[in-house]
Structure 1
Amino acid sequence: MSPNSVSPGSARSAAVLNEQIRALWIRAGGSLSAQERTEYELLVVQWAAAIRHEVIEAA
């Protein structure tokens, strides 16, 4: 899934984003291209936001 296919307001769980990050690394064979690095960075930012959101909801 391309990160650009996700609308800015959509929310995915940290677990889903973590799986996407892991799948990206597996597809890339452990070495990211420039495009994959951009996708990875976007996923990590979204994952961090999801973690914060889940922590706030749990509090």
Structure 2
Amino acid sequence: MLLTRQKNGWTQSELAKKVGIKQATISNFENNPNKTTLSIFFNLVQAMDLTLSIQEKAQVTL
């Protein structure tokens, strides 16, 4: 997400405003992505015009 934010030329504050959250929340997400809520994550995906896909894990045959 950090790379996409930077690619779009958005500051943390600008992205936070688009999502409706505080700039500190964006900073926390970028520094500790495993400590965010799914709700915030999905809102970030939407605000950044990204898609999210879930795929079945490929089986490895040994």
TM-score normalised by structure 2 residue count: 0.30
Larger Rg: 2
Structure showing the higher helix proportion among its residues: 1
